[in-house]
Structure 1
Amino acid sequence: MSASSERAALLAVLEEARRRGFLGPGPVDEHVRQAERFRCRIDDLLVRGALFVRAVDLGSGGGVPGLALAVDHPELTWVLVEAGERRAAFLQEAVSTLGLADRVSVRWGRAELLARDTQLRHQIDLVVVRSFGPPAVTAECATGFLRQDGYLLVSEPPYPQARQRWPAEELAELGFEPEGVTHGIQALRQARLCPERFPRRVGIPAKRPLFH
Protein backbone atom coordinates (compact mmCIF):
# COMPACT_ATOMS: atom_id res chain seq x y z
CA MET A 1 0.00 0.00 0.00
CA SER A 2 1.38 3.44 -0.94
CA ALA A 3 1.88 6.17 1.66
CA SER A 4 -1.06 8.15 0.27
CA SER A 5 -3.30 5.07 0.39
CA GLU A 6 -2.21 4.32 3.96
CA ARG A 7 -3.06 7.87 5.03
CA ALA A 8 -6.45 7.75 3.30
CA ALA A 9 -7.26 4.44 5.01
CA LEU A 10 -6.15 5.83 8.39
CA LEU A 11 -8.31 8.95 7.98
CA ALA A 12 -11.32 6.80 7.05
CA VAL A 13 -10.83 4.64 10.17
CA LEU A 14 -10.52 7.72 12.38
CA GLU A 15 -13.64 9.26 10.83
CA GLU A 16 -15.49 6.09 11.78
CA ALA A 17 -14.07 6.31 15.30
CA ARG A 18 -15.40 9.85 15.59
CA ARG A 19 -18.80 8.80 14.20
CA ARG A 20 -19.04 6.15 16.92
CA GLY A 21 -18.06 8.65 19.62
CA PHE A 22 -14.64 7.14 20.28
CA LEU A 23 -12.66 10.19 19.13
CA GLY A 24 -12.88 13.71 20.50
CA PRO A 25 -14.29 16.77 18.73
CA GLY A 26 -12.58 18.63 15.93
CA PRO A 27 -11.41 17.66 12.45
CA VAL A 28 -9.76 14.26 12.13
CA ASP A 29 -6.74 15.97 10.56
CA GLU A 30 -6.13 17.75 13.88
CA HIS A 31 -6.06 14.41 15.72
CA VAL A 32 -3.54 13.15 13.15
CA ARG A 33 -1.42 16.27 13.69
CA GLN A 34 -1.33 15.49 17.40
CA ALA A 35 -0.08 11.99 16.57
CA GLU A 36 2.61 13.59 14.42
CA ARG A 37 3.88 15.46 17.48
CA PHE A 38 4.46 12.09 19.12
CA ARG A 39 6.25 10.93 15.96
CA CYS A 40 8.57 13.95 16.10
CA ARG A 41 9.37 13.29 19.76
CA ILE A 42 10.04 9.61 19.04
CA ASP A 43 12.33 10.55 16.16
CA ASP A 44 14.26 12.94 18.43
CA LEU A 45 14.81 10.16 20.98
CA LEU A 46 15.88 7.71 18.28
CA VAL A 47 18.50 10.19 17.07
CA ARG A 48 19.78 10.38 20.65
CA GLY A 49 20.22 6.61 20.72
CA ALA A 50 16.97 5.32 22.23
CA LEU A 51 16.00 1.80 21.19
CA PHE A 52 12.31 1.18 20.52
CA VAL A 53 10.98 -2.20 19.43
CA ARG A 54 7.81 -2.81 21.47
CA ALA A 55 5.38 0.00 22.21
CA VAL A 56 2.10 0.46 24.08
CA ASP A 57 -0.61 3.06 23.44
CA LEU A 58 -2.22 3.41 26.87
CA GLY A 59 -5.93 4.22 26.77
CA SER A 60 -5.99 4.03 22.99
CA GLY A 61 -9.67 5.00 22.64
CA GLY A 62 -10.36 5.78 19.00
CA GLY A 63 -6.80 4.92 17.96
CA VAL A 64 -4.88 8.17 18.37
CA PRO A 65 -1.96 8.21 18.56
CA GLY A 66 -1.45 4.42 18.41
CA LEU A 67 -2.86 3.61 14.97
CA ALA A 68 -1.23 6.64 13.36
CA LEU A 69 2.14 5.82 14.91
CA ALA A 70 1.85 2.18 13.87
CA VAL A 71 1.40 3.34 10.28
CA ASP A 72 4.33 5.79 10.57
CA HIS A 73 6.69 3.34 12.33
CA PRO A 74 6.43 -0.06 10.62
CA GLU A 75 9.55 -1.21 12.47
CA LEU A 76 7.69 -1.19 15.82
CA THR A 77 5.22 -3.68 17.24
CA TRP A 78 2.32 -2.13 19.14
CA VAL A 79 -0.12 -3.09 21.87
CA LEU A 80 -3.22 -0.90 22.05
CA VAL A 81 -4.49 -0.99 25.64
CA GLU A 82 -8.12 -0.02 26.14
CA ALA A 83 -10.40 -0.56 29.15
CA GLY A 84 -13.66 0.04 27.25
CA GLU A 85 -15.04 -3.10 25.62
CA ARG A 86 -16.69 -1.33 22.67
CA ARG A 87 -13.63 0.76 21.97
CA ALA A 88 -11.40 -2.29 22.16
CA ALA A 89 -13.65 -4.12 19.68
CA PHE A 90 -13.48 -1.13 17.33
CA LEU A 91 -9.69 -1.01 17.59
CA GLN A 92 -9.53 -4.69 16.65
CA GLU A 93 -11.62 -3.93 13.55
CA ALA A 94 -9.39 -0.96 12.71
CA VAL A 95 -6.20 -3.01 12.99
CA SER A 96 -7.63 -5.53 10.53
CA THR A 97 -8.88 -2.83 8.14
CA LEU A 98 -5.47 -1.15 8.06
CA GLY A 99 -3.63 -4.45 7.51
CA LEU A 100 -1.63 -4.10 10.74
CA ALA A 101 -2.53 -7.37 12.45
CA ASP A 102 0.98 -8.79 12.04
CA ARG A 103 2.46 -6.15 14.37
CA VAL A 104 -0.42 -4.49 16.23
CA SER A 105 -2.52 -6.21 18.89
CA VAL A 106 -5.34 -4.97 21.09
CA ARG A 107 -5.64 -5.76 24.80
CA TRP A 108 -8.95 -5.08 26.50
CA GLY A 109 -8.53 -4.50 30.22
CA ARG A 110 -7.47 -2.17 32.99
CA ALA A 111 -3.91 -0.89 32.83
CA GLU A 112 -3.34 -1.73 36.50
CA LEU A 113 -3.92 -5.40 35.68
CA LEU A 114 -2.29 -5.58 32.26
CA ALA A 115 0.88 -3.97 33.67
CA ARG A 116 1.27 -7.17 35.72
CA ASP A 117 0.84 -9.52 32.77
CA THR A 118 4.13 -11.40 32.44
CA GLN A 119 4.15 -10.81 28.67
CA LEU A 120 4.01 -7.06 29.22
CA ARG A 121 5.51 -6.25 32.61
CA HIS A 122 8.89 -4.54 32.17
CA GLN A 123 8.88 -5.71 28.52
CA ILE A 124 7.95 -2.47 26.76
CA ASP A 125 10.35 0.11 25.33
CA LEU A 126 7.87 2.93 24.76
CA VAL A 127 4.49 3.91 26.20
CA VAL A 128 2.54 6.74 24.57
CA VAL A 129 -0.41 8.46 26.23
CA ARG A 130 -2.68 11.07 24.72
CA SER A 131 -5.60 11.28 27.14
CA PHE A 132 -5.64 8.85 30.03
CA GLY A 133 -5.79 10.70 33.31
CA PRO A 134 -3.92 13.10 35.60
CA PRO A 135 -0.12 12.86 35.60
CA ALA A 136 0.09 10.77 38.78
CA VAL A 137 -2.40 8.20 37.45
CA THR A 138 -0.77 8.11 34.02
CA ALA A 139 2.72 7.64 35.45
CA GLU A 140 1.71 4.90 37.88
CA CYS A 141 -0.31 2.94 35.30
CA ALA A 142 2.44 3.19 32.69
CA THR A 143 5.50 2.39 34.78
CA GLY A 144 4.81 -1.34 35.16
CA PHE A 145 5.00 -1.86 31.39
CA LEU A 146 8.38 -0.20 30.89
CA ARG A 147 11.81 -1.79 30.89
CA GLN A 148 14.74 0.12 32.31
CA ASP A 149 15.65 3.05 30.03
CA GLY A 150 12.27 2.83 28.30
CA TYR A 151 10.24 6.00 27.79
CA LEU A 152 6.80 7.30 28.66
CA LEU A 153 5.62 10.03 26.26
CA VAL A 154 2.59 12.09 27.27
CA SER A 155 0.73 14.79 25.35
CA GLU A 156 0.80 18.03 27.34
CA PRO A 157 -1.95 20.69 27.58
CA PRO A 158 -1.59 23.52 25.03
CA TYR A 159 -1.32 26.22 27.71
CA PRO A 160 1.29 26.61 30.47
CA GLN A 161 0.24 25.18 33.83
CA ALA A 162 0.45 27.11 37.08
CA ARG A 163 1.81 24.02 38.84
CA GLN A 164 4.54 21.51 38.12
CA ARG A 165 2.72 18.59 36.46
CA TRP A 166 5.65 16.17 36.64
CA PRO A 167 7.49 16.65 39.98
CA ALA A 168 10.86 14.90 39.80
CA GLU A 169 11.02 13.90 43.46
CA GLU A 170 7.64 12.13 43.43
CA LEU A 171 8.28 10.52 40.04
CA ALA A 172 11.53 9.08 41.35
CA GLU A 173 9.45 6.73 43.55
CA LEU A 174 8.27 5.10 40.29
CA GLY A 175 11.78 5.11 38.79
CA PHE A 176 11.05 7.95 36.37
CA GLU A 177 13.24 10.90 35.42
CA PRO A 178 11.39 13.66 33.50
CA GLU A 179 13.29 14.97 30.48
CA GLY A 180 11.06 17.92 29.57
CA VAL A 181 8.63 18.91 26.84
CA THR A 182 9.43 19.04 23.12
CA HIS A 183 6.84 19.20 20.33
CA GLY A 184 4.21 19.43 23.08
CA ILE A 185 5.16 15.97 24.36
CA GLN A 186 6.59 15.30 27.83
CA ALA A 187 9.20 12.54 27.99
CA LEU A 188 9.88 10.53 31.13
CA ARG A 189 12.71 8.01 31.13
CA GLN A 190 12.34 4.84 33.19
CA ALA A 191 15.73 5.25 34.84
CA ARG A 192 15.07 2.32 37.20
CA LEU A 193 12.47 -0.45 37.14
CA CYS A 194 9.47 0.47 39.24
CA PRO A 195 9.08 -1.24 42.62
CA GLU A 196 6.98 -4.41 42.62
CA ARG A 197 4.09 -2.70 44.43
CA PHE A 198 3.30 -0.49 41.42
CA PRO A 199 0.83 -0.10 39.95
CA ARG A 200 -1.48 -0.51 42.92
CA ARG A 201 -4.88 -2.24 42.74
CA VAL A 202 -7.48 -1.20 40.18
CA GLY A 203 -8.77 2.29 40.94
CA ILE A 204 -6.29 3.06 43.72
CA PRO A 205 -3.96 5.25 41.60
CA ALA A 206 -6.89 7.61 40.94
CA LYS A 207 -8.32 7.44 44.48
CA ARG A 208 -5.00 7.92 46.23
CA PRO A 209 -2.63 9.57 43.72
CA LEU A 210 1.06 9.69 44.57
CA PHE A 211 1.13 13.42 43.84
CA HIS A 212 -1.16 16.29 42.79
Structure 2
Amino acid sequence: MGLQVNPPGSLSELRDRLPSQLDTILRRSAELGFLGRMPIPDQIDHALGFVFAAESEIDGPPGSVLDLGTGGGVPGLVLLSCWPDCRVVLLDASERRTGFLAEQTADWRRNGPLEVVRDRAESVGRDERFRQQFELVVSRSFGVPAVTAECAAPLLSPGGGLIVSEPPEGAAPDRWPSDGLALLGLRTSVQARFDGRFSYQVLVKDGLTPDAYPRRVGIPAKRPLF
Protein backbone atom coordinates (compact mmCIF):
# COMPACT_ATOMS: atom_id res chain seq x y z
CA MET A 1 0.00 0.00 0.00
CA GLY A 2 1.52 3.29 -1.12
CA LEU A 3 1.64 6.71 0.51
CA GLN A 4 0.56 9.98 -1.07
CA VAL A 5 2.04 13.20 0.34
CA ASN A 6 0.90 16.63 -0.80
CA PRO A 7 3.59 18.74 -2.50
CA PRO A 8 4.81 22.03 -1.00
CA GLY A 9 2.48 24.93 -1.69
CA SER A 10 -0.58 22.78 -2.36
CA LEU A 11 -2.32 23.73 0.90
CA SER A 12 -2.21 27.42 0.00
CA GLU A 13 -3.56 26.68 -3.48
CA LEU A 14 -6.45 24.69 -2.03
CA ARG A 15 -7.29 27.41 0.48
CA ASP A 16 -7.59 29.88 -2.40
CA ARG A 17 -10.51 27.85 -3.78
CA LEU A 18 -12.67 28.49 -0.71
CA PRO A 19 -15.32 31.25 -0.50
CA SER A 20 -15.23 33.78 2.32
CA GLN A 21 -18.67 32.69 3.55
CA LEU A 22 -17.39 29.24 4.50
CA ASP A 23 -15.55 30.39 7.62
CA THR A 24 -18.65 32.24 8.86
CA ILE A 25 -20.91 29.21 8.39
CA LEU A 26 -18.50 26.87 10.15
CA ARG A 27 -18.18 29.25 13.08
CA ARG A 28 -21.97 29.26 13.43
CA SER A 29 -21.91 25.49 13.27
CA ALA A 30 -19.31 25.37 16.04
CA GLU A 31 -21.31 27.77 18.21
CA LEU A 32 -24.26 25.37 17.95
CA GLY A 33 -22.08 22.49 19.08
CA PHE A 34 -22.06 20.72 15.71
CA LEU A 35 -18.27 20.66 15.35
CA GLY A 36 -15.50 19.35 17.57
CA ARG A 37 -12.96 21.33 19.56
CA MET A 38 -10.37 21.59 16.81
CA PRO A 39 -9.93 25.25 15.75
CA ILE A 40 -11.95 26.14 12.65
CA PRO A 41 -8.89 26.87 10.45
CA ASP A 42 -7.49 23.43 11.31
CA GLN A 43 -10.84 21.78 10.56
CA ILE A 44 -10.84 23.46 7.16
CA ASP A 45 -7.28 22.30 6.47
CA HIS A 46 -8.21 18.77 7.51
CA ALA A 47 -11.16 18.86 5.10
CA LEU A 48 -8.87 20.07 2.33
CA GLY A 49 -6.90 16.88 2.86
CA PHE A 50 -9.92 14.98 1.53
CA VAL A 51 -9.78 17.17 -1.58
CA PHE A 52 -6.10 16.38 -2.07
CA ALA A 53 -6.58 12.65 -1.53
CA ALA A 54 -9.55 12.47 -3.89
CA GLU A 55 -8.02 14.48 -6.71
CA SER A 56 -4.80 12.49 -6.43
CA GLU A 57 -6.66 9.17 -6.57
CA ILE A 58 -9.01 9.94 -9.46
CA ASP A 59 -6.91 12.60 -11.21
CA GLY A 60 -9.37 15.45 -10.79
CA PRO A 61 -12.65 16.37 -9.08
CA PRO A 62 -15.28 13.63 -8.81
CA GLY A 63 -18.64 13.87 -10.49
CA SER A 64 -20.51 12.98 -7.30
CA VAL A 65 -19.70 12.77 -3.59
CA LEU A 66 -21.57 11.87 -0.41
CA ASP A 67 -20.38 13.01 3.02
CA LEU A 68 -21.21 10.16 5.38
CA GLY A 69 -22.27 11.60 8.75
CA THR A 70 -21.56 15.19 7.77
CA GLY A 71 -22.32 16.54 11.26
CA GLY A 72 -21.75 20.28 11.22
CA GLY A 73 -20.71 20.25 7.57
CA VAL A 74 -17.10 19.08 7.62
CA PRO A 75 -15.72 18.05 5.23
CA GLY A 76 -18.88 18.37 3.11
CA LEU A 77 -19.05 22.18 2.93
CA VAL A 78 -15.38 22.34 1.98
CA LEU A 79 -15.87 19.75 -0.75
CA LEU A 80 -18.83 21.55 -2.31
CA SER A 81 -16.77 24.75 -2.24
CA CYS A 82 -13.87 23.15 -4.09
CA TRP A 83 -16.02 21.16 -6.53
CA PRO A 84 -18.81 23.50 -7.73
CA ASP A 85 -19.82 21.22 -10.62
CA CYS A 86 -20.02 18.05 -8.51
CA ARG A 87 -23.21 16.47 -7.17
CA VAL A 88 -22.91 16.73 -3.37
CA VAL A 89 -25.03 14.95 -0.76
CA LEU A 90 -24.60 15.81 2.92
CA LEU A 91 -25.97 12.91 4.98
CA ASP A 92 -26.68 12.95 8.70
CA ALA A 93 -29.28 11.45 11.03
CA SER A 94 -29.68 14.60 13.13
CA GLU A 95 -32.63 16.88 12.40
CA ARG A 96 -30.91 19.88 14.00
CA ARG A 97 -27.68 19.48 12.05
CA THR A 98 -29.33 18.83 8.69
CA GLY A 99 -31.78 21.67 9.26
CA PHE A 100 -28.89 24.03 9.90
CA LEU A 101 -27.00 22.88 6.82
CA ALA A 102 -30.06 23.11 4.57
CA GLU A 103 -30.66 26.68 5.73
CA GLN A 104 -27.03 27.73 5.33
CA THR A 105 -26.64 26.28 1.83
CA ALA A 106 -30.03 27.33 0.42
CA ASP A 107 -28.53 30.26 -1.52
CA TRP A 108 -25.12 28.74 -2.20
CA ARG A 109 -24.11 29.50 -5.78
CA ARG A 110 -22.89 26.37 -7.57
CA ASN A 111 -23.52 24.47 -10.78
CA GLY A 112 -23.85 20.93 -9.46
CA PRO A 113 -26.83 19.68 -7.41
CA LEU A 114 -26.66 19.84 -3.63
CA GLU A 115 -28.85 17.83 -1.29
CA VAL A 116 -28.96 17.69 2.51
CA VAL A 117 -30.41 14.35 3.60
CA ARG A 118 -31.61 13.46 7.10
CA ASP A 119 -31.63 9.68 7.43
CA ARG A 120 -29.68 6.71 8.68
CA ALA A 121 -26.90 5.53 6.37
CA GLU A 122 -28.23 1.97 6.44
CA SER A 123 -31.54 3.18 5.01
CA VAL A 124 -29.96 5.44 2.40
CA GLY A 125 -27.78 2.55 1.22
CA ARG A 126 -30.93 0.68 0.19
CA ASP A 127 -32.56 3.65 -1.53
CA GLU A 128 -32.23 3.44 -5.32
CA ARG A 129 -31.74 7.21 -5.48
CA PHE A 130 -28.43 6.77 -3.67
CA ARG A 131 -27.29 3.15 -3.96
CA GLN A 132 -24.29 2.86 -6.30
CA GLN A 133 -24.68 6.51 -7.33
CA PHE A 134 -21.47 8.08 -6.01
CA GLU A 135 -17.99 8.27 -7.40
CA LEU A 136 -16.72 9.25 -3.94
CA VAL A 137 -17.84 8.78 -0.33
CA VAL A 138 -15.98 10.54 2.49
CA SER A 139 -16.04 9.90 6.22
CA ARG A 140 -14.50 12.13 8.85
CA SER A 141 -15.74 10.47 12.05
CA PHE A 142 -18.71 8.31 11.10
CA GLY A 143 -17.75 5.15 12.97
CA VAL A 144 -15.28 2.29 13.29
CA PRO A 145 -13.84 0.88 10.04
CA ALA A 146 -16.28 -2.04 9.75
CA VAL A 147 -19.33 0.20 10.16
CA THR A 148 -17.98 2.87 7.83
CA ALA A 149 -17.13 0.32 5.14
CA GLU A 150 -20.50 -1.45 5.33
CA CYS A 151 -22.47 1.79 5.10
CA ALA A 152 -20.29 3.36 2.40
CA ALA A 153 -19.76 0.47 -0.01
CA PRO A 154 -23.39 0.22 -1.20
CA LEU A 155 -23.36 3.93 -2.05
CA LEU A 156 -20.29 3.71 -4.29
CA SER A 157 -20.53 3.18 -8.01
CA PRO A 158 -18.18 0.53 -9.47
CA GLY A 159 -14.63 1.84 -9.33
CA GLY A 160 -15.61 4.53 -6.82
CA GLY A 161 -13.49 5.56 -3.85
CA LEU A 162 -13.99 5.82 -0.10
CA ILE A 163 -11.75 8.23 1.83
CA VAL A 164 -11.69 7.93 5.61
CA SER A 165 -9.94 10.20 8.10
CA GLU A 166 -7.37 8.30 10.16
CA PRO A 167 -5.37 9.03 13.33
CA PRO A 168 -2.46 11.43 12.67
CA GLU A 169 0.06 8.58 12.74
CA GLY A 170 -1.87 6.70 10.05
CA ALA A 171 -3.78 3.42 10.01
CA ALA A 172 -2.54 0.27 11.71
CA PRO A 173 -1.98 -2.65 9.29
CA ASP A 174 -4.93 -4.63 10.65
CA ARG A 175 -7.39 -1.72 10.73
CA TRP A 176 -8.74 -2.49 7.25
CA PRO A 177 -8.50 -6.29 6.80
CA SER A 178 -8.64 -7.42 3.18
CA ASP A 179 -10.95 -10.38 3.86
CA GLY A 180 -13.54 -8.19 5.57
CA LEU A 181 -13.38 -5.51 2.89
CA ALA A 182 -13.75 -8.12 0.15
CA LEU A 183 -17.18 -9.05 1.55
CA LEU A 184 -18.30 -5.57 0.53
CA GLY A 185 -16.43 -5.33 -2.77
CA LEU A 186 -13.77 -3.01 -1.34
CA ARG A 187 -9.97 -3.03 -1.15
CA THR A 188 -7.42 -0.62 0.27
CA SER A 189 -5.64 1.61 -2.23
CA VAL A 190 -3.24 4.13 -0.66
CA GLN A 191 -2.76 6.16 2.48
CA ALA A 192 -2.63 9.93 2.11
CA ARG A 193 -0.71 12.35 4.29
CA PHE A 194 -1.62 16.04 4.16
CA ASP A 195 0.39 18.99 5.44
CA GLY A 196 2.31 16.67 7.77
CA ARG A 197 -0.65 16.73 10.18
CA PHE A 198 -3.49 14.66 8.76
CA SER A 199 -3.82 11.08 7.53
CA TYR A 200 -6.45 9.37 5.37
CA GLN A 201 -7.13 5.87 4.10
CA VAL A 202 -8.26 5.55 0.50
CA LEU A 203 -10.28 2.48 -0.47
CA VAL A 204 -11.61 1.46 -3.88
CA LYS A 205 -14.73 -0.44 -4.86
CA ASP A 206 -13.46 -3.05 -7.30
CA GLY A 207 -16.18 -5.67 -6.77
CA LEU A 208 -19.89 -6.00 -6.18
CA THR A 209 -21.55 -5.14 -2.88
CA PRO A 210 -24.04 -7.96 -2.17
CA ASP A 211 -27.69 -7.02 -1.79
CA ALA A 212 -27.48 -8.16 1.85
CA TYR A 213 -25.54 -4.98 2.70
CA PRO A 214 -26.03 -2.71 4.42
CA ARG A 215 -27.85 -4.66 7.09
CA ARG A 216 -30.73 -3.21 9.11
CA VAL A 217 -30.31 0.03 11.03
CA GLY A 218 -27.99 -0.51 13.98
CA ILE A 219 -26.84 -4.00 13.02
CA PRO A 220 -23.50 -2.96 11.46
CA ALA A 221 -22.45 -1.46 14.80
CA LYS A 222 -23.86 -4.29 16.92
CA ARG A 223 -22.36 -7.07 14.81
CA PRO A 224 -19.44 -5.60 12.84
CA LEU A 225 -18.14 -7.62 9.91
CA PHE A 226 -14.53 -7.30 11.09
Calculate the TM-score normalised by the size of structure 1: 0.91
SS of residue in 2 equivalent to 1:80: strand
Figure out how many residues of one structure are paired with residues of the other and give that number: 207
Residue in structure 2 matching 1:26, options 38, 41, 51 = 38
Tell me: CA distance 1:158–1:5, structure 2 relative to 1, closer, same or farther (3 Å). closer
Change (3 A) 1:153 1:6: closer
RCO higher in structure (CA 8 A, sep ≥6): 2
Q: Give the whole-Å Cα distance in 2 for the aligned partners of 1:115 and 1:86.
A: 22
Confirm whether residue 13 of structure 1 aligns to residue 28 of structure 2: no
The answer (yes or no) to whether the contact 1:146–1:193 under 8 Å persists in 2 is no
TM-fit CA distance, 1:160: 4.6
How many angstroms apart in 1 are the aligned matches of 2:95 and 2:181?
31
4+ residue runs over 3 A deviation: 3-6, 97-102, 160-163
Q: 1:128 aligns with which of 134, 138, 141?
A: 138
Q: Offset at 1:161? A: 5.4
Contact 1:6 1:98 (8 Å CA) reproduced? no
1:51/1:32 Cα in 2 relative to 1: closer, same or farther (>3 Å)? Answer: closer
Shift of 1:123: 1.2
| CA displacement 1:52-83 (0-9 Å, x = unmatched) | 21110000001000110100111211000001
What CA deviation, in whole Å up to 9, does each residue of 1:3-55 have, x standing for no partner? 979532000000000000001002100100001100111110132xx782111
What code does the residue aligned with 2:222 have?
A: K
| 1:40 partnered with 2:55 | no
Q: CA RMSD in A?
A: 1.9
Contact 2:133/2:155, CA 8 A, preserved across alignment? yes
SS of residue matched to 1:7:
coil
**Cross-structure match for 1:118:** 128
Is contact 1:51–1:125 with CA below 8 Å preserved after alignment? no
* 2:84–2:112 Cα contact (<8 Å) kept: no
1:61 counterpart residue number: 71
How far did 1:169 drift? 1.4
Contact 1:147 1:193 in 2 (8 A): no
For residues 32 and 39 of structure 2, the distance between their equivalents in structure 1, rounded to whole angstroms, comes to 15
Q: Deviations over 1:178-207 (max 9, x none)?
A: 012112111110101200000000000000
1:199 match: 214
Change (3 A) 1:8 1:167: same
The 1:160–1:71 alpha-carbon spacing in structure 2 relative to 1, beyond 3 Å, is closer
Find the counterpart in structure 2 of residue 182 from structure 1: 192
Q: Secondary structure at the match of 2:106?
A: helix
